[in-house]
Amino acid sequence: MLRLIQLEMKKQKLGWYVRGACIATVIIAFFMWLMPYTEDSGDPAFAGYAEALSAAGLFVRAVFIVFASVLLSRFIIDEYRNKTMNVMFTYPVQRKRLIMAKMLLILSLTFVSMIIATLIVCLVFLAVNIRFHFIPGTPEGSVLLHTGIRLFVQTLSAAGVSLIPLYFGMRKKSVATTIVSAVIIMALLSSNNQGFTLSTSVAIPLILGILGFLVAYLSFRNVDKTDIL
């Protein structure tokens, strides 16, 4: 499986993804710095460090779920549409293993990107806060540790959620459907109702993450028995 993933990495040439991820991280960091200046009421944008860092994690997860849908489109959907998947399926390797290698690569890229981007955005915000004092005081170690664990679990779950668009895209082999479904998922996860989001608790993201893995499996479970049209 590791060999298949390495071959897929060489095939896909991921420079475009790295550049896009870097640009997205810079934009999110700038947005986090800009948010306190958009408050007209005079109240602080964030009630504390935990809320600010959680918001940073939410923005990162929302953006990279859409990035994952682009990866799904390029790695899987496009290859079905362009019939290049037919050639791959002539290899002496189970079709399911080929698809699974692609999905594991997408999952790894998404998870690692989310972790790195979240870390960078949070560190930038904390550094900028020292100068501009958006949030008074200094963060306690216990708060940072608790928030960090929470963000890690939510990021792991979001990586699973990012696979859900594959199910919708595979139904008609549609790139547009894959990306649109990711945008809808992003909107649902990011929607705020009086301070409550689907990412507020740890249980909901975990359930959604498990659902994502299940839905992804259902999207290719019969690939060894299905003819490619």
Distance between first and last Cα of the chain: 26
Describe the crossing of helices 141-161 and 203-220 by its angle, rounded to 10 degrees. Answer: 20
The alpha-helical segments, DSSP class H, found in 13-94 are 15-34, 49-72, 78-81, 84-88
Local structure of residue 176 (DSSP, 8 states): H
> Closest Cα partner for 62 from 209, 189, 207, 212?
189
Q: pTM for the whole thing?
A: 0.85
Given a contact cutoff of 8 angstroms between Cβ atoms, the answer to whether 186 and 62 are in contact is yes
3-state class (DSSP) for residue 193: strand
Q: 209 is written with which tokens?
A: 């993450």
Distance between CA atoms of residues 180 and 70, nearest Å: 10
Distance between CA atoms of residues 49 and 71, nearest Å: 33
**Domain spans, the chain:** 2-220
Distance between CA atoms of residues 75 and 12, nearest Å: 8
Q: 176 is written with which tokens?
A: 């547009």
Given a contact cutoff of 8 angstroms between Cβ atoms, the answer to whether 75 and 105 are in contact is yes
- Whether 55 shows a pLDDT value over 70: the answer reads yes
Q: Give the mean model confidence (pLDDT) for residues 29-33.
A: 88
Over residues 101-140, the pLDDT tens digits come to: 888 999 999 999 999 999 999 999 988 888 877 788 788 8
- Whether 212 shows a pLDDT value over 90: the answer reads no
